[in-house]
Amino acid sequence: MENITTWLFRVTNIRLIIGMCVVYLIFPLFLLPNIINTGSVGPLDLLIWYNQDSLYEILTSYGETIRARYIIGLLTVDLAYPIFYGTLLTMILALIIKNFSIPFYKKIIFIPYVVVLFDLTENSILIFLLSTYPTKHPVIADTAGFVTATKWSGFAIIIMILIYLVVYGIRRRQSKATNNAP
């Protein structure tokens, strides 16, 4: 793990992040809407939370064709997407810590992979529920909603960490500049 951490801090730079952001945009702007096109209802992954009743109502509204297409999307694009955004967020955290010289526990950069784990778990549960529809699995359906809510909570925590690190880094730089001023 130490080698991976060291490597990430060494290779991460602003050009790499910008390039990854451009590639990232391909997912939400092109790949996901075209492969996981669930019509006006929208994909379950984008909901903040749902319970078994709302989940099965949505699955019913999808119809057989959309449910089949959604499974393909979850097994292809939405398998790569979480890994990609997790790596991007990890590199953004590394860049902030590196550029601001923040004396922070360096392995914090791997927190986005916790969200990736929840996203991939969510996808696995949704694939099961979509492929076994119309059979109902109430506990698993409620678990899917909980995992989805946990994923989004993880994103909120990551955003808060990013904001904290940037504010901390800026204040630290300002403090050093003030202390070094004649």
d(CA 17, CA 22): 9
d(CA 120, CA 122): 5
For residue 179, what pLDDT band results from cuts at 50, 70 and 90?
confident
CA distances from 47 to 35, 37, 55, 56, 126 (A): 18, 15, 10, 14, 13
Domain boundaries, the chain: 2-180
d(CA 175, CA 182): 13
**What global pTM score does this model have?**
0.91
Closest CA to 27 of 66, 84, 72: 84
Condensed to tens digits (0 to 9), the pLDDT of residues 117-144 reads 999 999 999 999 999 999 999 999 999 9
Do 148 and 160 touch, CB atoms closer than 8 A? no
